[in-house]
Structure 1
């Protein structure tokens, strides 16, 4: 593990600390920009961006419904516990109940 960290440090020192390393880094930036701007890559980006947006909308709606249900249950003023076939309803604790003996 120490060897990997050491080698990563040497590589970063070369890229950022030497003129030839900075030239290599500049070449890599140009190559990465060319790849990113390639129409074939952008087709994939747009395709997966659309899929991610659709997924987020579906999950957002589901999360919204779950949040509304949870908030409605919390605002009802009681919690329900199931004990065998009987339903026991207990009131929610408020700040005074949570700290007995404090004014």
Structure 2
């Protein structure tokens, strides 16, 4: 995957950076279309697509569970910090009766 990303990036950089003009762009576009339309390339694309779909089905619920767990953990930590006033610029901004002046003086405005 890293090599493909590099080749695509290098090709895109060349196309965007070249001063050869429209003719060079059309030449590159034609060559890339030939590669993309090659039956062997399309066969490999289909293999990758089916493998990604298979992996998504196999591991989709595990990923969903992991994301949900991480979000809950982060929300729990954030709740702990907001209860003590930590994690905010004013420090006491989460407390009742905290003035906006204290936050402004700490931020330098």
Query: Could you say which TM-score interval applies, normalised by the shorter chain?
Result: 0.3 to 0.5
Normalising by structure 1, we get a TM-score of: 0.48
Normalising by structure 2, we get a TM-score of: 0.46
Higher helix share: 2
